[in-house]
Amino acid sequence: MMEGQINGHDYDVIVVGSGAGGAMAAYTLTKSGRKVLMLEAGRDYDPKTETPMFKSNFDAPLLGAGNSDKDFGFYDATVDGGWEVPGEPYTKGEGSEFLWWRARMLGGRTNHWGRYSLRFSEHDFKGFSRDGLGADWPFEYWDLAPWYDETEALVGICGTNTGLDDMPDSPEGVLQPPPKPRVPELLVSAAAKKLGIPTAPMHRAVLTRPKDDRQACFYATPCGRGCSIGAAFQTTTSLIPMAQATGLLTVITDAMVKEVNVDEKGKVNALTYIDKKTKQAHRLDAKVIILAASACESARILLNSKSESHPNGLANSSGHVGRNIMDSTGVSYGAHIPALEGRPKYNEDGHTANHLFIPWWGHKMQEKKAMAFPRGYHFEIGSGFRAPSSWVSGDLDGYGKPLKEITKQAYGSYVGLALRGEMLPNDDCYMEIDEDVKDQWGIPVVKFHWKWSQHELKQVEHGLKTARQILETMGAKFDKPLPKAEDAILKGGQIIHEVGSTRMGDSPTESVTNQWGQTWDCSNLFVMDAGVFASNPHKNCTLTIMTLAMRNSTWLARQLDKGEL
């Protein structure tokens, strides 16, 4: 894109970011006739030509194993990112551990995400009202429900209605049929049932029926690589091309936004970005700006946008920008299941992730204050006859034929339960700008502070005990005691569900945006990524990011119609 041709005034809205929030905002606005300019900090990316479909680990360097260049393995879709981005560091406060996953590519992290797409429940939006912790959302589930319906229909979600309080039903005909469960999942289901714990078909943003230009899943090649046929949802095969088809979307890649600029009255009127190819800074006039650069990147832009009228950073009169950061809790516990050794082989790839999972079953008990921790979790099930990789499981001993026999018997006999739980915000978990460190573009970097509270540790302790019970019911034997929660819990950021850094609310002193993602301080500045989450229910954030972006950019379009902005 030639920068010389770009005049910000030609666009109704500038969207920063092309992931779940940015792409949905751009799609919604262009569909309602608005001209949109999208800035993406990473390179252009086309899943149709770049996805390593069907490639085997044998064809990859190091059997596809992960390393500091490709943290999630050679074939992971993430471009120019991962836990570290060269030239774009982040720092951590003393005693804090935090990991920040970034992708520098069109479509952002939607190119490789797990596609788990569970609605938040009625109770999820009103946690503070229930237990006095964290914050309520500034609306109710039923305000959002019609937008979940539309988002699910647009994105394409497979799954079923279960009637469980942890999984609100979708209207008839919205969900696509889920794939049949596999053997280890059925065994987990039977064991959980004996313990009074439910299992349910996972909801995933994977097509089991064709839709628009996207094909149905053919049940091969892991979704984390991206999906050249568009079955596994990513914005680069759906929302972005659909928005481009309107003729109203312009995309500039390699555009790293540095700050949002204001006029002498403090009103947002421009933004400044660095063209990564030329290293030149450009200023674009702007009528309305939507930040959707990811929760922590959007908060970083705001904190770096200091001016006389906004001395603590833009939209930060509340002091809440960068605070209230939450990730999901995470811990994994697994075992070899002797009864699954040497079981009959069949193609167990399926849609390459959970067909069944364990939703949270303890909400009613928590409502009665009958549990030692206030918020819920779910278990994802890891199992199956997987493509051979750089790791071989089994209790290996000896060599030669007997050794190979151990490996073959153990193949497909491991079952792991991965907990994903709700975290509460606390004063020790926040980000600020590290004034001493700048990235290679001259932009001051983020400094993270992190500490789990007892709420998370008690939840993880409960999860570990429960996982062990389920695995023991399946016949697993353990000779070691359970690890302590504080040792087993994964690091902050490691589940890549960071939210809350620009939270929404009813009060300009307790939140950064109103319920529409519109910042309290600047009427023409919006946030439409997970930064606006008031809480972080355990159900994976992406579906709700997209739903909020659709709802809030629809509202934004109406304000433009009314001449309100």
Partner 1 sequence: MSLVKERYSSKKPYLASLSRRDAIKWIGALSVTAAFPGLTACSSQALAPQSQLAKGHWPQLDLPVINATGYGKDPNLIIAPRASWPRTLTAAQLTFIAVLADIVAPREGAAPSASEVKVPDLLDEWVSAPYEQQQQDRVSFLHLLAWLDEEARRRFDNLFVDVRASQQLAIIDDIAYKKAMQSEEFVRSAKAFADFRRLVLACFFCSPAGVKDIGYLGNVPIVGDYPGPSDEAMTHLQSVLDELGLTL
Task: Tell me whether residue 494 or residue 514 sits nearer to partner 1 (CB atom).
Answer: 494
DSSP state of 334: E
If phi > 0 it is left, if psi is from -120 to 50 it is alpha, else beta; for residue 509 that is: alpha
Residue type, 317: S
Structure tokens at 33: 């006739």
User: Which member of 72, 139, 141, 219 binds partner 1 (CB under 8 A)?
Assistant: 219
What does each C-alpha distance from 517 to 412, 472, 513, 532 come to in angstroms?
46, 46, 5, 7
CB of 323 to partner 1, least distance (A): 31
Sites for partner 1 among residues 17-46 (CB under 8 A): 43
Quick check: 68 binds partner 1 (CB under 8 A)? yes
HSE (CB half, 13 Å, CA atoms) of 372? Answer: 9
Quick check: 387 binds partner 1 (CB under 8 A)? yes
CB of 406 to partner 1, least distance (A): 9
* CA–CA gap between residue 102 and residue 116 (Å, rounded): 19
Instruction: Find the DSSP H helices in 32-179.
Output: 47-50, 127-131, 141-155
What does the per-residue mask of binding to partner 1 show for 473-512, with x meaning CB under 8 A? xxx-------------------------------------
Sites for partner 1 among residues 227-256 (CB under 8 A): none
Phi, psi (5° rounding) for residue 448? -100, 145
Structure tokens at 343: 């079981």
If phi > 0 it is left, if psi is from -120 to 50 it is alpha, else beta; for residue 466 that is: alpha
CB of 234 to partner 1, least distance (A): 15
DSSP state of 341: T
Query: CA nearest 485: which of 450, 516, 511, 454?
Result: 454
Q: Using alpha carbons only, what angle is made at residue 64 by residues 63 and 65, rounded to the nearest 5 degrees?
A: 90
Quick check: 177 binds partner 1 (CB under 8 A)? yes
Quick check: 172 binds partner 1 (CB under 8 A)? no
If phi > 0 it is left, if psi is from -120 to 50 it is alpha, else beta; for residue 461 that is: alpha
Q: Are strands 289-291 and 525-527 parallel, antiparallel or unpaired?
A: parallel
Quick check: 264 binds partner 1 (CB under 8 A)? no
Q: Are 489 and 460 in contact (CB under 8 A)?
A: yes
Quick check: 65 binds partner 1 (CB under 8 A)? yes
User: Which string of DSSP letters, residue by residue, matches 159-195?
Assistant: ------TTSPPPPTTTSBPPPPPPHHHHHHHHHHHHT
Sites for partner 1 among residues 389-428 (CB under 8 A): 389-392, 396-401, 403-404, 407-408, 411
Quick check: 81 binds partner 1 (CB under 8 A)? yes
Quick check: 48 binds partner 1 (CB under 8 A)? no
Q: Are 21 and 528 in contact (CB under 8 A)?
A: yes
Among the listed ranges 113-121, 382-390, 450-458, 512-520, the one in contact with partner 1 (CB under 8 A) is 382-390
Residue type, 45: Y
Task: Tell me whether residue 36 or residue 470 sits nearer to partner 1 (CB atom).
Answer: 470
Among the listed ranges 16-24, 74-82, 360-368, 504-512, the one in contact with partner 1 (CB under 8 A) is 74-82
What does the per-residue mask of binding to partner 1 show for 286-325, with x meaning CB under 8 A? ----------------------------------------
User: Which member of 32, 35, 44, 55 binds partner 1 (CB under 8 A)?
Assistant: 55
Quick check: 162 binds partner 1 (CB under 8 A)? no
Q: Is residue 204 exposed (0-12), middle (13-18) or buried (19+ Cβ within 10 Å)?
A: buried
CB of 220 to partner 1, least distance (A): 5
Task: Tell me whether residue 279 or residue 408 sits nearer to partner 1 (CB atom).
Answer: 408
85-113 as b/e, with b when 16 or more CB fall inside 10 Å?
beebebebbeebebbbbbbbbbbbbbbbb
What does the per-residue mask of binding to partner 1 show for 440-479, with x meaning CB under 8 A? ---------------------------------xxx----
Quick check: 102 binds partner 1 (CB under 8 A)? no
Task: Tell me whether residue 364 or residue 404 sits nearer to partner 1 (CB atom).
Answer: 404
Among the listed ranges 161-169, 318-326, 379-387, 530-538, the one in contact with partner 1 (CB under 8 A) is 379-387
User: Which member of 173, 247, 344, 481 binds partner 1 (CB under 8 A)?
Assistant: 344
Q: Using alpha carbons only, what angle is made at residue 548 by residues 295 and 315, rounded to the nearest 5 degrees?
A: 50
CB of 3 to partner 1, least distance (A): 23
CB of 23 to partner 1, least distance (A): 21
CB of 114 to partner 1, least distance (A): 18
User: Which member of 3, 69, 367, 486 binds partner 1 (CB under 8 A)?
Assistant: 69
Task: Tell me whether residue 411 or residue 450 sits nearer to partner 1 (CB atom).
Answer: 411
